[in-house]
Amino acid sequence: MKTSAELIQEAKKNAALEAVKHVKDHFIVGLGSGTTVAFAIEALGKRAKEENIKIMGIPSSYQTFQLAVQHGIQITTLDEHPVIDITIDGADQVTPELHLIKGMGAALLREKIVATASKYNIIIVDESKRVKVLGENNQTVPIEILPFALALVERKIASLGGTSIIREGKGKLGPIITDNGNMIIDVNFGLIRKPKEMAFKVKNIPGVIETGFFVDLTDLVYIATENKIEKLEK
């Protein structure tokens, strides 16, 4: 019998394989980050090779860059291709309105840039990421901040009702430093019934570089279990 961890891996792979079907020849593909996207990168590399289609990827993190290279996906940049045809990314929470929390992999800044540059955004998740309201199950919202502004940002976040924790590294003492040289704080806001408003208020704090609220950015979500895939559309 399969363990629950194995079933989750299968679900992630199923969602990824479904998303990759949307990619067409000559597409510029935004590549999100995380364990679910890793399955999509592998499948994209396979498609490019087996079907001889030409695609180019714009990675949202060093992790994704390395994976894409490993799977033979040609890399390009936003400077060369400012408009992306499709982006495939994962998420930490997804609501029925297609609002997301992202950033548990600390790649949220580039992920949001890639998503915003993209004509079509697909999110791939396993069933455990589905919620009614963002912030359920004590899910925190990752926020990328300029280290210089930490004390100010924490104070302002507290005035919005949030409790912040600096994200610590694994295999490194002290705070993690993102691919962009910044810090991440994980903020518990409780249930977030108005994510658009909250995202706006947080983003407005000087020193906040980007928030893990992804609102009105997603076109399609594939939510998978090990044996079924559900499609949520805008």
Instruction: Rule CB under 6 A: say whether 195 interacts with ligand 5RP.
Output: no
CA 139 to chain CA centroid, Å, is 15
Instruction: Rule CB under 6 A: say whether 89 interacts with ligand 5RP.
Output: yes
Query: What binding mask, one character per residue, do residues 107-146 give for ligand 5RP by CB under 6 A, x or -?
Result: xx--x-----------------------------------
CA angle 58, 187, 98 (to 5 degrees): 55
Instruction: Rule CB under 6 A: say whether 92 interacts with ligand 5RP.
Output: yes
Nearest-approach distance from CB 51 to ligand 5RP, in angstroms? 25
Distance from C-alpha of 190 to C-alpha of 178, rounded to nearest angstrom: 25
Do the Cβ atoms of 155 and 197 come closer than 8 Å? no
State which H helix or E strand residue 191 sits in. Answer: none
Is 186 in a helix, a strand, or coil?
strand
Q: Which two tokens stand for residue 204?
A: 């407005």
Nearest-approach distance from CB 76 to ligand 5RP, in angstroms? 21
The stretch near ligand 5RP (CB under 6 A) out of 19-27, 105-113, 179-187, 197-205 is 105-113
Q: What order do you get walking across the sheet with 56-59 strand by strand?
A: 74-75, 56-59, 28-31, 86-89, 121-126, 220-224, 229-233
**Binder among 45, 57, 105, 162 for ligand 5RP (CB under 6 A):** 105
**Binder among 14, 36, 87, 178 for ligand 5RP (CB under 6 A):** 36
**Binder among 14, 33, 64, 118 for ligand 5RP (CB under 6 A):** 33
Q: Which two tokens stand for residue 112?
A: 């949001």
Instruction: Rule CB under 6 A: say whether 35 interacts with ligand 5RP.
Output: yes
Do the Cβ atoms of 31 and 87 come closer than 8 Å? yes
Q: Residue 183: beta bridge partners? A: 145
The stretch near ligand 5RP (CB under 6 A) out of 66-74, 80-88, 102-110, 131-139 is 102-110
Instruction: Rule CB under 6 A: say whether 59 interacts with ligand 5RP.
Output: no
Instruction: Rule CB under 6 A: say whether 180 interacts with ligand 5RP.
Output: no
Instruction: Rule CB under 6 A: say whether 17 interacts with ligand 5RP.
Output: no
Do the Cβ atoms of 185 and 89 come closer than 8 Å? no
Kindly list the residues in this chain that would bind ligand 5RP in the complex (CB under 6 A).
32-36, 89-92, 102-108, 111
